[in-house]
Amino acid sequence: MSAPTSNQNPQSSQSTNRFAQFKLVLLGESAVGKSSIVHRFVKNTFDDMRESTIGAAFLTQTITLPESKTTIKFEIWDTAGQERYKSLAPMYYRNANAALCVYDITSRSSFSKAQDWIKELKKQAPEGIVIALVGNKSDLADSREVEESEVEEYIQQASEDGSSIITSECSAKSGDGVLEIFTSIAKSLPVEEAVGAGTNRNRAGAGNRRAGGVDLGRARRPEQASSGCC
Amino acid sequence: MSPGNVSLTSKSRRNLGSPFKSPENSISQTHHNIFDSDTGDSSPTPTRGNYKNSTKRKQRLPKNESIDTEHDDNEDTHELSPPTIPPKDDDLQGPNGRNLAKKALNRTKDRGSSVSERETTAITETPSTTLTNTTEDEANVNCPICNEPMVNLYQLNRHIDDIHSEGKEGRNSFADTEMGPKLSSISDGHGSLGKIFNNEFISSDIKKWFSNKSVEREVDYLSPSKRKIIKMDLLDDDRGFSLSDSSNGDVFREPSPGINSNLQNSASPPPKFKNRLSRSHWKHPSTTTSCSIRGCGKTLNVKNGVVNCRKCGLLYCYAHTNNRVRLKNSEIEGSPPVYDFGKDGIWCKCCETCYNNKPDLLEGTQANSRDLTGSFSKKRQELLDDKQLNRTKVQKRFIKLTNLLAEKSLLNKPENTNSIWNTISNNLAANKGELEREKIGYDNWQNDKDVTNCTICFVKFNVIIRKHHCRLCGKIVCDDPYGARKSCSIVVPLPKLMEKLSNLNYSRTVKENYDKIINNESLRFRCCVDCKNALLYDWKLESSKASGQNEELIFVIYNAILAQKHQIESLLPKYAKIVESTDESDETYTNRLRVKLMSFLKDFENLTIQFRNKFFVVHNNKLTVAEKFVADSRLITNIYQSSIMFLQENILWYKQLNDRHKEIEQERLEKSKKEKAAETPEPPRLTKKQIRELREELMVMNEQKFIVENLIQDYTKSRRFEELSSLQENKQELDKTIESLEAELGDFGF
């Protein structure tokens, strides 16, 4: 299991900016808005007529936590929610640092499905994975089926074994709460550890061409991070 | 070589010491005089002309020697010299020559009888003698024309046919003019050879051969490139094709010495061109052609040969076109050549079938069979007719005798019933022979004095063995009332015969008093065995026919039994073979065989039981043939016994085989079990649902792999190497998963 891959910009490691890289996987029933959330987060766009995802999409986004002066890069695996692609999910959450279990607040079944995912994650996923239970489509609060109290109740129940689950509601359409979710995830991620691992061992880069002396990508990376996706 | 020393070594040394010094000589194993002159050594060297070798060498000869070789060949024939041992050891002339020569001699002794034979003849020869004194012996084993050694006369015959009769009369004037005188000088010069050449046929053959030779040489001495051109021409000829044409008899041979005219495409084809056999019927070879001989099956290629039979045009391999026939073009345009065993026929290759079908060969085989059926059946018919005649005669006499005896008895009866025997005996005594003799005819009544031995068993008559006349044929035969020997005659009661021969044309009195006569035991006469058999022949025939119905019944069952028996006999050894061969044969086949055998054996047993029930009755715990079939009791018992024997033997064998088979099977089973245990346990069998799911999963994985690969490409293009690592990681993982899925699916995968 690959630990959080992290790297540190040699120029900024000591003073200004630290850098950490995390894998994040999105899980949830089909059509709850996983891809929409990701696209809102990564590209800040919303598509009304989004086609359902095939397999798992891969996207990256970087956020900066100003209080700890840390740049965190998310490698996001946006899995398809269709039952057909269920078998793909384990491959991605197995080495993920964070998992976003998305449900539709207008659909009870999607909530229970998200609960199932959480259960599965607790069983199968690596220790220390950050789980977030996200209710999407908060703009459709009128037809809400899943009450916030319900969610709270479930969270209390689920957190009995000591694990903590981030809960939040958002709307990919309006963009409300999307960034907050990722920020809170980034905060709960073991940033220090990842950064430390990166400086101490540079393990992730050991076998990779990134550490192999090619500095081009590294030098450019900050700009890339700010510009987001092409 | 000292003249007095006639020994093995001297001879061989001479052979070995022959001037084979030039490098060319070491190539060719045949020695030619031309080389003597070339090397400056003019001693007459014994030469063994070998047709093949000489031609081989000729090809190597420089061009300017061609004419000389002609002479050379001629000399070869003319001298019929003893064989030279092919000497490679050019350096054997030194002081060690003697030993080495011995070795060489030993080597040659191994070369088969014909060679060693010639060796011995050569040994006796003194150096000064000309070689003619050995020619007579050698002519038996060597070809008189080319001196090639032959194993036997048959081979020589064939050799002459094949090699020395190819030429055509008047084909080459060169031969007639140049060779003619030489040949005549041959016949003049040497006694035994002259005898051979005086034979017109042979000499003409030789002429032909020489003419051929010269022609061949003409062709042979073309420069290699020219030769190639000719071959090419043959191949390019649109009328035919062959990969192995150049050495065949039917290939057009250009007699004219001009090199240019050897090319077939020369502007004005010489008159001999018409002798070419048509090739329009030739089959075209393809890559998959195989030899047309049934059971050969060789694929035809350059190695095996692709040869058209000149007669039928089919394709064969080299091995099956070794025969030669004489052919000429058919009168009908476009049809294959026909056989021609006249002088004009062209020798050419043909397949075995065409060789065997050639008319003279067929004639030859026919001449060996003579149909004697006609004369045999004629003779047999004569014999049968004689016998029939004899039977009729005997029958007639019997009728007469019966009439006579019956009349007598009827006449005598009223007189004195008490003394019938006496009267008859008296009567017989009185008339002894007279009446009967009359009936038989005096010529047939053998005279007592003329006969000393029984005419049937040839026993010598004496006081005890008395002479008796058969009353039907009149011959004198013996009788043995004491049963010491087999008697040749017996006094037969008339009624017994009349009973069996009731339908004969007796006289009216006899017919009227038939019942009386039948009951009259006193009526009897002497009859010999032959006459009795002749008399009862028809009756026996009929009675045997009557019992034939039984036989039919018997044979119906017996045939069924035989059929089963045959099956068992053919299958059981097969089964035994399979069982005894320990290699893992086809189990299903073995089992099928076993079941088959079992059913056959069972059928056989059933049939035997049926047979027993039909023809036997159990009597006092003993099987006896049923009364109805008593006549055929021997046949029935024999059949039954043999069947029982067969059954017992084979069932025993079958059971043994079965046991053995079981053992082997058991062994195998255990072995395979062990093997299986050793192997990794097989993957559990997948249910259909599982297969579907796994396939679905595999499909998803493949899709994802495709997506990731595309992503990798995109990211590479846009030089976003940071993300590439995780993508590649993911791809590797996907690959692994796909692999494991495929392994799990096994045969059910895509």
Note whether B744 contacts A: Cβ–Cβ < 8 A.
no
pLDDT tier for residue B68 given thresholds of 50, 70 and 90: very low
CA distances from B167 to A40, B175, B194, B250, B612 (A): 104, 10, 22, 11, 78
- At A109, the pLDDT band (50, 70, 90 cuts) reads very high
Decide which of B577 and B246 is more confident. Answer: B577
Element (H, E) at A180: helix A178-188
Q: Name which of A85, A87, A217 is nearest B719 (Cβ-Cβ).
A: A217
Q: Give the confidence band of A30 by pLDDT, cuts at 50, 70, 90.
A: very high
How far apart are alpha carbons B267 and B261 in whole angstroms? 9
Each as own residue / partner, the long-range contacts of residues B506-510 (CB below 8 Å, 24 or more positions apart, any chain) are B506/B399, B506/B402, B506/B403, B506/B406, B507/B399, B507/B403, B507/B406, B507/B407, B509/B403, B509/B406, B509/B407, B509/B410, B510/B402, B510/B403, B510/B406, B510/B407
pTM: predicted TM-score of the whole model, two decimal places: 0.34
Task: Flag whether pLDDT at B510 surpasses 60.
Answer: yes
| Domain membership flag for residue A209 | yes
Identify all chain A residues contacting B726, using CB atoms and an 8 Å cutoff. Answer: 5, 23, 58, 75
Please tell me the predicted confidence (pLDDT) of residue B412. 64
- Residue that wins the pLDDT comparison between B627 and B366: B627
Confidence of residue A139 (pLDDT cuts 50, 70, 90): very high
Chain B residues closer than 8 Å to A55 by CB: 700, 703-704, 707
Model confidence band, residue B325 (pLDDT cutoffs 50, 70, 90): confident
Summarised one tens digit per residue, pLDDT across range A160-195 is 877 888 999 999 999 999 999 999 999 898 887 777
Encoded tokens for A134:
């996200």
Contact A56 B711 (CB under 8 A): no
Joined together, the tokens standing for residue B507 give: 């006289």
**Angle subtended at Cα B543 by Cα B538 and Cα B545, rounded to the nearest 5 degrees:** 95
Residue A2 domain-assigned (yes or no) = no
Residue B710: the pLDDT is: 92
Residue A42 has pLDDT above 70, yes or no: yes
Q: Tell which wins on pLDDT, B143 or A147.
A: A147
pLDDT for the residue B257:
44
Tally: H helices and E strands in chain A: 8, 6
- For residue B637, the model assigns a pLDDT of 85
Q: Is residue A3 a part of any domain in this protein?
A: no
Tell me the C-alpha distance between B42 and B734, whole Å.
Answer: 92
Which residues on chain B are in Cβ contact (under 8 Å) with A75?
723, 726
Flag whether pLDDT at B479 surpasses 50.
Answer: yes
**Residue range of the domain that includes A157:** 18-227
Tokens of B338: 């026909």
pLDDT value for B26: 42
Q: What is the pLDDT of residue B438?
A: 63
The mean pLDDT of B56-73, rounded to a whole number, is 43
pLDDT at B468: 85
Chain A residues near any Cβ of chain B (below 8 Å): 2, 5, 23, 54-58, 60, 73, 75, 77, 84-85, 87-88, 91-92, 204, 208-210, 214, 216-217, 221, 224, 230
Find chain A residues with C-beta within 8 A of B725's C-beta. Answer: 5, 204, 208-210
* Partner-chain contact A73 B722, CB within 8 Å: yes
Per-residue pLDDT of B205-259, as tens digits, reads 666 665 555 544 444 444 444 444 444 444 444 444 444 444 444 444 444 444 4
Chain A closest-CA separation from residue B586 CA (Å): 45
Q: Which pLDDT score, from 0 to 100, does residue A32 have?
A: 92
| Mutation choice for B interface testing from A9, A58, A215 by most B CBs within 10 A | A58
pLDDT score for B589 = 81
Give the pair of three-digit tokens for residue B216.
């061949």
Judged by CB atoms closer than 8 Å, whether chains meet at B718 and A230 is answered as: yes
Mean pLDDT of B196-201: 53
Going by pLDDT thresholds of 50, 70 and 90, the confidence category of residue B292 is confident
pLDDT confidence of B308, banded at 50, 70, 90?
A: confident
The pair of structure tokens assigned to B309 is 């039979």
Substitution target from B695, B697, B704 for chain A, most A beta carbons within 10 A: B704
CA distance A62 to chain B (A): 12
The phi, psi pair for B487, rounded to 5°, reads -80, 145
Instruction: State the residue for tokens 């069996």.
Output: B500
* pLDDT value at residue B113: 43
pLDDT of residue B211: 59
Residue B480, pLDDT above cutoff 70: yes
Which pair of tokens denotes residue B365? 């085989």
Closest partner residue to A58 (CB to CB) among B721, B727, B733 is: B727
Band (pLDDT 50/70/90 cuts) for residue A2 is: very low
In the prediction, which pLDDT does B37 show? 42
| Chain A contact for B718 (CB, 8 A cutoff) | yes
The confidence score (pLDDT) of residue A182 equals 93
pLDDT at position B382 is 94
Average pLDDT on B47-57 reads: 44
pLDDT of residue A179: 92
Closest CB to A208 among B697, B725, B734: B725
Residue A1: per-residue pLDDT: 43
Evaluate if residue B667 carries a pLDDT over 60.
yes
- Here the CATH number for the domain that contains residue A36 is 3.40.50.300
Residue B504: what are its φ and ψ, rounded to 5°?
-75, 165
Is A87 in Cβ contact with B700 (below 8 Å)? yes
What value does the mean pLDDT take over residues B551-556?
78
Q: Is the pLDDT of residue B543 over 60?
A: yes
* Reduced 3-state DSSP string for B122-143: HHHCCCCCCCHHHHHHHHHHEC
Q: Which of B696, B719, B722 sits opposite A210 (nearest CB)?
A: B722
Q: What is the DSSP string of A119-179?
A: HHHHHHSPTT-EEEEEEE-GGGGGG--S-HHHHHHHHHHHGGGS--EEEEE--TTT-TTHH
Residues of A in contact with B733 (CB under 8 A): 91
pLDDT at A35: 92
pLDDT of residue A39: 93
Q: Do A58 and B719 touch (CB under 8 A)?
A: no
DSSP one-letter code for B396? H
Report the pLDDT value the prediction gives residue B619, as an integer from 0 to 100. Answer: 77
Per-residue pLDDT tens digits for B421-469 = 555 555 554 454 555 566 566 667 778 888 888 888 888 888 888 888 8
Confidence of residue B203 (pLDDT cuts 50, 70, 90): low
Residue of A nearest to B728 (CA): A208
Per-residue confidence (pLDDT) for residue B202, from 0 to 100: 56
Q: What are the chain A neighbours of B711 within 8 Å (beta carbons)?
A: 58
Cβ neighbours of B721 in A, within 8 Å: 209-210, 214, 217
Residue B305 has pLDDT above 50, yes or no: yes
Chain-centroid distance, C-alpha B321: 20
- Mean pLDDT to the nearest integer, B651-662: 87
B741 touching A (Cβ < 8 Å) = no
* pLDDT band per the 50, 70, 90 thresholds, residue B311: confident
Q: How many CB pairs under 8 A join A and B?
A: 59
What's chain B's Rg over C-alpha atoms? 48
Q: Which helix (H) or strand (E) holds A72?
A: strand A70-79
Q: What is the pLDDT of residue A80?
A: 92
* Neighboring chain B residues of A87 at a CB cutoff of 8 Å: 696-697, 700-701
User: How many Å apart are CA B38 and CA B572, to the nearest integer?
Assistant: 75
Provide CB contacts within 8 A for B20, sequence distance 6+: B26, B31, B87, B90
Residue A16 confidence class, pLDDT cut points 50, 70, 90: low
Count: domains in chain A = 1
Q: Which of B698, B699, B700, B710 best probes binding to A when mutated, by most A CB atoms within 10 angstroms?
A: B700
Average of per-residue pLDDT values in chain B: 68
B712 at A interface, C-beta within 8 A: no
Find out whether B66 and B221 touch, Cβ atoms under 8 Å.
Answer: yes
Nearest to B722 among A77, A87, A221 (CB): A221
Cβ separation A55–B734 shorter than 8 A? no
Lowest mean pLDDT among A9-23, B139-153, B650-664: A9-23
Under DSSP, is residue A62 helix (H, G, I), strand (E, B) or coil?
Answer: strand
Banded model confidence at residue B483, pLDDT cuts 50, 70, 90 = low
Which chain B residue has its CA at the smallest distance from A93's CA? B730
Q: Which two tokens stand for residue A216?
A: 């081009």
Picking from A54, A85, A91, the nearest residue to B733 by CB comes out as: A91
pLDDT at residue B32, as a whole number: 44
| CA–CA dist B699, B697 (Å, integer) | 5
Residue A10 within any structural domain of the chain = no
Contact B704 A88 (CB under 8 A): yes
Residue A106 belongs to a domain: yes
